[in-house]
Amino acid sequence: MKNRSHVRIPAKIILILLTVVCLVCVVMSIANPSFGSGARNTAASVIVPMQRGLNTVGSFFTTKAKDRQKLRELQKENKELTEQLNSLNEEISSLIQERDELTRYRQLLDLDGSYADYTKIAACVISGDPSNWNDVFVIDKGSDDGIAVDMNVIGAGENGGGLVGIVYYVGKNYAKVRSIVNDDSNVSAMIAGNSEKCIVDGDLKLINDNQLNLIQLDQAAEVKEGDMIVTSNISNKFLPNLLIGYVTDIETDANQLTQSGHIRPVVDFKHLNEVLVITQLKYTGNEEEEK
């Protein structure tokens, strides 16, 4: 560096010169705003295209960076939302289950109210008969809870509740119930309005249609579709006036002495979950004598 210094004008001189130039420029441009516009334009014509290019590059990268940031944010949000959705779905399904349960309990409560005279024990259906031939089921209450054979079982349906069946076997903590749709079930019944006696007969062929046979109704009895069928007062096992179902069709038998038809039970036997067991047994003279 020193070998070149002899060629150089001292920095101080240059500084002073340039300072004077600057000051002149300052004074000139204050006095005349358009001063140096030529120089400005020349500089701008060189610089501006470069700036424009760099800006394009810069905005490309900032856009990229922003996009990536946004992507990350969105992914995070998506994850959170998915989790939220899952937990909400779980909540919804459990709520739906609870709602269904509530509906059933309400129906049961209504049923309880409509047969208020009897004391009842609520029980849950815990299993059905494994074979396809019988419509019997097991409830979770047994002799420990006061269940006894021949107790009537009622259940709730969509439009009111009615007779489900009868307890035919009692264990310590469970009991078996034969439903009235079972093929060997015969219930002594009557038409609610005029007390005409008949038999409600379970039929395997009709189980899937959710129907029961109505037989041995007197030819003279006045009956029409929609009539209410209840358990009769002369039944020896069933308490009187428990709702069974409604007549769907009726016709006179070939013997011209009786009428028969079908009834639709009020209870939905396919979807029984909770039932009520009436602890009161039907009082009959015979039983009294036996005892």
Partner 1 sequence: MKKIIRLILAVLIILVAYLLQSTLFQKFTFLSVAPNLLLIVTFCFGFIKGKHYGVYVGFLCGMLIDLMHGDVIGFQTLIYMYIGYMNGYFNKLFFDEDITLPLVLLILSDFLYSMYYYVFAFLLHNRLDIQYYFIHIMMPELFFTVLITVFLYRPLLWINRKFDSMEEGGTK
Using CB under 8 A, list all residues that contact partner 1: 1, 8, 11-12, 14-15, 18-19, 21-26, 28-30, 33, 35-36, 39-40, 43-44, 47, 50-51, 54-55, 58-59, 62
AA identity, residue 277: V
**Which one, 60 or 133, has the nearer CB to partner 1?**
60
Whose Cβ is closer to partner 1: residue 11's or residue 116's? 11
Q: Which DSSP category does 254 fall into?
A: T
Nearer to partner 1, 26 or 234 (CB): 26
Beta bridge pairs of residue 124: 274
Residue 59: C-alpha distances to residues 47, 49, 247 (Å): 18, 15, 82
- E strand or H helix that includes residue 126: strand 120-128
Minimum distance from CB of 25 to partner 1 (Å)?
A: 3
Strand partners, 191: 229
Instruction: Compute the residue count for the chain.
Output: 291
Q: How far is the CB of 50 from partner 1 (least distance, A)?
A: 5
Say how far apart CA 261 and CA 49 lie, in whole Å. Answer: 99
How is residue 225 written in tokens? 């579709």
Query: Any bridge partners for residue 122, and if so which?
Result: 276
Closer Cβ to partner 1, 54 or 124, answer by number: 54
Q: How far is the CB of 33 from partner 1 (least distance, A)?
A: 8
Q: Of 199, 165, 192, 168, whose CA–CA distance to 181 is shortest?
A: 165
Closer by beta carbon to partner 1, 18 or else 102: 18
C-beta of 88: minimal distance to partner 1 in Å?
37
Give the nearest distance from C-beta 67 to partner 1 in angstroms.
Answer: 15
